[in-house]
Structure 1
Amino acid sequence: MFSQRSWSVHVVCTLLSIYSFGDGLIEMCGIIRPEAPVVLPIGSNFTALCILNDHCYSLGKIHANQIIWRTKNVLVPKEQYHVINQTVSSVTFSDITMIPSPLTCNIMVAGNIEQNIYGVEIQLGFPPEKPKNLSCIVIQTQPELFILRCTWDPGRETFLNTNYSLKSRWPDKMLPECIPQKTKNACDVPIFVFFVTMKIWVEAKNELGEVESDHIEFDPLQYVKPLPPNKLSVNSGEFPTVLKLSWTNRFNIVSTVLKYIIRYKTVNSTSWSEVPREETDSQRTSFAIQELRPFTKYVFQLCCAINYAHPRSNGYEGYWSDWSEEVVGFTAEDMPTKGPAVWRKISTPSPGNWTLELTWKELYPSEANGVILGYEVSISGKPPVSFPMKVYSQLNVTKLILNVQNGTYEVRITAYNKVGKSPTSVLLISPTNSKAPVKDIVAFPKDGKLWVNWTAPKEFVNKYIIEWYEVCEHSDCSTEWQQEPGTKHSAFLKGDIKPFKCYNITVIPLYVNGQGEGRSTQAYLQQDVPSNGPSVQTKKVGKFEALLEWKPLSVDEQNGFIKYYNITYKTATGNETVVIVNASQTEYPLSSLSSDTLYMVQMAAYTEIGGRSGPQFTFTTKKFGEGEIEAIVVPVCLAFLIVTLLGVLFCFSKRDIIKKHIWPNVPDPSKSVIAQWSPQTPSKHFNSKEQIYPEGSFTDVSVVEIEADDKKSLSEPDLKPFDLLKKEKNASEGHSSGIGGSSCMSSPRQSVSDSDEGEPAQNTSSTVQYSTVVPNGYRDQIPPVQVFSRSESTQPLLESEERPEDQQVLKSDSSTPTHSYFKQNGNWDDTVTDGGSSERVKQISPINEEDVAGLHCAQMGGCGAEGDEQGVSPGAFHPCPEGPSMQFEPTRINTVTDNEIPKSYLPQTVRQGGYMPQ
């Protein structure tokens, strides 16, 4: 447990700490009993005493109750203290398993300082156990030198310094004891005396006890391990199967006999063969080893032991020596013991002809029995083929190619060395495999080899041919073969069979008069997980289903037979779904999927060893199923077509109404003769119509109706305009037609009435027709001039003229004459006032048709030239040939004051493109 050096260091340090110095002398202030070194058995009780010295003046007057116990600076609980008297204190430890060392006795002095008094080193351990299993052997180290080596079992560890010694005694003499040097359970003793029985035992001792082993009786000659034979040599005999082994012995004790063990093997073998021991239990220095293979290199080894035949040995054989050094021997050549295995490969370059490729195997060394110098091959045809025998001798190759006719042939081949020829191998080649094949062929790995089993046919089989090749992607795979006797039903492939490669194996039975059809199987010497996983993709995707497809793994990627596929698919938030698929499938339909959803698919291929997953693949299901879009689009299109057809038919049936609202009959102003009924107008306004009124300009004609009652209230000078209107009416008759198809001449209706002319009492109103010509530019372009003219258009009025119920008029609530403006859409424009007074537009009853006709004549000026006298400047009018026609809006002036004189022309302006429906 503690080394002697460390124990000494602790003791010295403890002693230095417990001595005080005074007057040049060392005085000890206390001591611990038992004194160091303290050795204790593990698990025992221990009590220590600290005894103070009364004459230690350096510490003053002290008492035992001031003593403090520590174990390696750890305070011992005061419960374990016991004060015996004023100078003695004890401490007790029960069931000691481990006490930290050292144990110190300390005291507290003035200034609350702890002072060490004494300390001891404690060692824990066990007493030695009785040594067991004492055995001895006499070892020969030199031809004349022997040693006695004894070993024993010392028992449990003591944790203390324990001494062992080997003691021996002759019957009359005690021999020197042997102390182990490097170990505690073995010791070597030189010995020179044989034929004397000895007594031997072992003694063990430490500070806790001493014990001896059992005494044994020992005969040195019975337990001798001799040196192995040396100077081995091997000689070839006259026979190719015999070798002679010679040696010398190095154990030469008188009256002793040795026995031997001889073992041998071929050079490349790992297993040894032994010569039977009963043939080598006699004293000898050579031995002839028989039944060896010719032309084979062998390795030999030899060992020996004392052939001790003591009656008390009870069959004890003694100790065998170590194996001698190896020696190599070589047997002589002999004739080959077996003919070469021969096989054929047939191809048909043209009908009726064969290319016959003959191949044969080289003989194994155990079959060749020497160096094969060449081969001799003969081939002959069997009827009905007439093929003369051909012999090919001294061939040093293992292949022969012949061009023959298809038929039956017999091939014979022999190998030869310098001793002789081998037996002849015969191969019968027939055009058909008409014989029975083997059954139940199966291949499997066993003991690191690929074995093939089959069930033999009922007929007698001469031999079997086993063909195999490594399955590869291309078709030109190298084929190997071997020949097995017809008595076998199983064999292992004798070639370079690689792990993780698939082999196709075929067994063909050969008969004396033909051959059977081959039967094949596939096998692996060793399987592994696939190198890669399959890559899956979608072949077809629907709304709730998807069809997955994948390519089978190549043979190089499989590394074994694929047992099944594992397909895992899931959504981004859904749970995984796993399905198992048969290995023969290349497609799999997924059903019960969600529409318009992204799926992730991964596929794994599994062999017997395990599986490997391929890359992940994602796809999205369709939002609509097959035919759903067509089911929606086709009815919608049909409905739209039907609605369209019905609408077209309805439009055709109502085309007059539609034309009236969308394409009304508009008069063509280009055909108007308005320029002809204004003679006072300067000619310059008519000679260049295109310049003054370019294409697109238009005019509006307005009609003002004056009530009869209002006329009477006017003064005599105020009636002059109306007289003029009357004259204009009379003068215009027969000159031009009125708007809407009524001319002034053809219409006898009066436009202006007064009391002198005797107008009918029922005529309560008269009309005055006037027009304001506003030439507007194309698309709101401002024209250079504005002129006024009467209208003499021969075009018929709009439908509003013949439908008085559609006419609208302006009625003013004030006494101020109104000027009304209309837009093309026929609605009323905002009312415009003269002199700042407001006007109110009202809808009134339409005027009498006769009054309208008379008013037209008066306005158009065809009946007289009074228009010029009224101060109205005549102006030219030239409508746009393609522009809108003129319109005349009848209006009535409801109220006129006494101070106001009604004017013959009240201009109203209608903007370009506008007209009032009549």
Structure 2
Amino acid sequence: MATPTRRWLLPVLLVILPSGYPSSGPPAPPSEPECYRPCSSHSCSVIRCVWTPDPESDHSTNYSLHWEPTNTDDDNIKGGRSYDGLIHRENFRSHGELRVWVQAQNQNGSAKSQDALIDTEAIKKPPPPLFLSNHQGSLEVTWSVACVLQPSQGTCEVRYRAEDDQGWPQAQYEDGLHNSFEVPDPRPGSEYEFQVRCACDSSLVSDWSEIYRIRSAEAAPVGEVDVWMDCVTPFSSFDCFLTWKNLSISEARGFILGYQVTVSYSNGTVKHINVSTVDPSSVWAYDEMKWYLTSSLKRVSSVYVSAYNSIGTGNASHLVVPEPGEHTDDQIIDLQMTEENLTVSWTLPPHFPDNVKHYVVQYRECWPGRGLDWIKVDKSRRTVSFKGVFKKYTSYQVSLFVVSDSNQIRLISTAVSYSVQGVPSAVPSFNVSVIAATDVTLFWEPVSCSKRNGKILHYQIGVEHAGTQTVYNVSVTPDHGTMTYKLPGLSPGRKYKVWIRAVTAAGPGPNVTTTLKTKHVEDLGHVIHTLVPVGFLLVTIIFVALCVTRGPRKVCPVLPQCLYEKVPDPSNSHIFKHMRHQISEPLNWICIPLYEPSPKISLLEIVEVKSKALGPDRLTRSVLENDCLQMSSTDVQRGETIVEDKDRMDPRYGREEYSKMIDSDEERSEESSDDGQFSSGYEQHFMPNPLEIRQN
């Protein structure tokens, strides 16, 4: 490859230098000419001479062919000159000698080749032989030789090759002018190519004939089909597909009509598939010398594949499909890769099992590329070379497998290689997942293998703030799925610009940038010390409010009894008799407002014997009281509760709170009783009876 310095010099040189050779001096002397007389079946009318350099390749120099007879006494033949390298029949005798040379001339001078002496009879060159027919059963070919004057002596040379041979490895020399040849022990079903050339008497040898092709008779295939798996993910049967290569020509021994495929499933069922090489189908596909079944190997336990032609069927090749997860990944392989060659070598780990049948070395392009190839080698081999055209900036995954004597397959090692590396593409996505005061968590999607353009060495994350920049190198392990990185050392409440890029041996790729702002620092101790007293004060206020608030007509069983005024509970009220049924309900803890429709307030009348100490207006008192009443289920169970508080006075009236409360609907006879034998326990406890008043 030209360096950058040479790139701009090369066009200049192309402009300065003329086409052809430099013309700074006289031309170089041409080579000694070689001359012959090309003959047809009836004449040899011209002499053709060739030399180097080729006149057509040097347009700055003029070349001319010169000749003259060696016998200057022959006045009938004169010398001459031509520019096309031809000497016509009128300028030479059939039996004679000529002295021939080449003259080169340009604007700076001229040069002359060495002289060549030629015998015009000895330089005859017969035409190439012509193939006539063949006998396919024995692979025999015949040809005809056109020799002038039908001489009785001569030689012929035959060469042949099979279609998969390189060059012409086989050559056969025959004494005499034979016109046939039979291939010894030909390969069955192989196409052969033939060429022949001959010489008549003392003439020159003719040119090679045109290539003649013939196919040998077919035979049943030999050898086994090279069967393997094409897996997107190694040993994931859902992503693996059966593939196999064509048999070689020597193994096919004829035209392969198809392949018989037997698929055995884990549940015991067996399926037979006939893959035709002539009729297409959606069940299989053909791609660059390889065949594929379009259905995956999911739930497949083993496969048998055999090839057949018109004569018979070859041996079946057996492949055991490995179970998912049965593989290791020891990094024991070394890769050397160029655009034309891939060399894979490996060293087995200690205590490696010795039941090895052979190794399989595979490479494939990054999915969805189809560039898959594999080689099966003997267990004694430790290196493999692939020949081909490996694309630039393309990821090739190389895998080493071992096949045991029982045909069990195990993955040993994998590695990735590139023929030529370039800078990677941008990261597909880059975001922030968690933001804290002094750190953030970043996540991004790795560059896909088809856009990496080289082996990713690491990812670089840069943080920019206030003109400063910090760069972190992040490992590529694992190199699949979403990747995360916790970015430390940030300051609270600040804005940052963060970028990411992938790096290969060729350099870093483009940046993908995002912005973020960290959170402010919260003084949790200060918050706690502030909130706890406030909360305590709030709870206290609510509690006190509930205690001191005296809402009318409410029963508040939640609060303790000590917070209420000690109000007697008159048991002779119909309202409280009715409430006994409500108090037994499950929700008796709720403060329930009670409303008595059109309440009738009873008058408590006290009748006593006249006394001088008492005025008439002290004999009858009316007390009107409404308050929050407290009831509980225990009150219902034990009856009416009597609270003793003789000295408590009503602050509103400066007198006792209750005497006797009687519903207006009760019998008036009960009010007129003087001895109090029908008085309730409430009256006995809180109110003085008439006898006590009299005594006073």
Greater Rg over alpha carbons, structure: 1
TM-score for both structures, normalised by structure 2: 0.50
TM-score for both structures, normalised by structure 1: 0.39
